[in-house]
Structure formats: C-alpha cells, structure tokens
Chain A
Amino acid sequence: ELKVEQNPLFLSMQEGKNYTIYCNYSTTSDRLYWYRQDPGKSLESLFVLLSNGAVKQEGRLMASLDTKARLSTLHITAAVHDLSATYFCAVDDTNFGNEKLTFGTGTRLTIIP
C-alpha cells in the first residue's frame, strides 16, 4: 500500500524567511502533485511534477521531484503572510490501475509578521 508522509506537520515561520516542506512516498509513481488548502476551503492545485528531476516554480514557491529517492520538496522563498495555508502533496498510485491519488497528512504553514 502506497504511503505518503509529509514533514513537518506544522510550520511557523517569520515573514522573509526560507523553508522547505518534504514529501516522501513509499512506492514507484509517475506523478506527484502539490495542493494548497485554506481553512474551510477546497484544494487548489499548485504543481504537477511528472518526471525525475522536474522542477517547477510559481512566485515564491518552487517544487522539485526526485523519483529515485521518492522525495519531493516544496521550497518557500522569502515567505509572506498570504502563503499561510495547509499544503498537501499527493502521489498518483499507479499500482492501483487508475488515477487514484494518495495524499500526505498535510503541512500547516503559518507565516508570522
């Protein structure tokens, strides 16, 4: 069974600082997703990573994928308050035979002024 682990679970950081969220998964997969969720809201797709070494950037967020290590990172540069949210990574469970996503437990990010 595919397992997806994120760390840290909670992250409180000051504005202007850099930090990285880690996502480890247990079996081979071709796709990894990052989502953002604001309190009481749905999921907003941030990045889709499709191959080993893939790197994508949007504003202050950058995501990368290392399929050999089964590791993805979400790097936050010069954090601002608007980035406060819960971030989930999700892995496409190709062993399932269809497009089933297995989500991590989420990282609750709080940016402190």
Chain B
Amino acid sequence: DAGVTQSPTHLIKTRGQHVTLRCSPISGHKSVSWYQQVLGQGPQFIFQYYEKEERGRGNFPDRFSARQFPNYSSELNVNALLLGDSALYLCASGRWAQYFGPGTRLTVT
C-alpha cells in the first residue's frame, strides 16, 4: 500500500503569490492534518479535516485555507505569501496524525 503522498516536493514562490499544496492520505484513512515546520522548530498544527469537514484549525492567519475532497485527498492553500511562510509543510494521515507524508518544502523569496 502506498503511504501518504504529497506534491510538489519543492516549490519556490515570490512574496505576494499564492500556493496550493496537495496531499493524498493512506488508503482507507478519512482524516488529514496539515502541519508547518519552520527550520529548527517542531511542527505546528494548521488544520485537520475528517470526512471532508474541518475539525480543527491552529493559530494561523486567514491567508491559510484548506479543503478535503470526496476521495479524502486534501489541498492546503496559502495566499499573499510572506517570507515567513517558508517552511516544510507536512501532511499527516489518519487519526492522531501518526503517518506523515514526505512534505513539501516551500521557499518564499
């Protein structure tokens, strides 16, 4: 079985642009969580979705949004990118986020 997949692997954007990150959970998992990991720090919770509904939101501005599709894959959208949004974005599959994907490394210049 495939694990959690994320795309793209790496991304470079300019300040003010918009970005969409994608995640496919492990087959059969209905929950997806998103975390942001800034270099040198632990991951920070952004969103959790379960059965296509938002179950929780962390302390992130409204520039961050997400959604979950009927096949349980998910998108994370970030508008008006700031330099501080540069980070590794991790998607976790399943309840209690036990299985993490490889991440998308976003660099904002």
Determine if A45 and B98 form an interchain contact, defined as CB atoms under 8 angstroms apart. yes
Minimal beta-carbon separation of B3 from chain A (angstroms):
10
Interface size counted on chain B using CB atoms at 8 A: 24
For window 41-98 of chain B, which residues contact chain A by CB distance below 8 Å?
A: 41-45, 48, 50, 55-56, 58, 88, 90, 95-98
Q: Roughly how many angstroms separate A45 CA and B43 CA in the complex, as a whole number? A: 14
CB-CB under 8 A from A48, the residues of chain B are 96, 98
Minimal beta-carbon separation of A78 from chain B (angstroms):
27
CB-CB under 8 A from A44, the residues of chain B are 100
Interface size counted on chain A using CB atoms at 8 A: 24
For window 30-48 of chain B, which residues contact chain A by CB distance below 8 Å?
A: 31, 33, 35, 41-45, 48
Determine if A98 and B43 form an interchain contact, defined as CB atoms under 8 angstroms apart. no
- A102, CB-defined interface residue at 8 Å: yes
Determine if A106 and B42 form an interchain contact, defined as CB atoms under 8 angstroms apart. yes
| Residue in chain B with minimal CB distance to A99 | B96
Binding site for A on B (CB under 8 A): 31, 33, 35, 41-45, 48, 50, 55-56, 58, 88, 90, 95-103
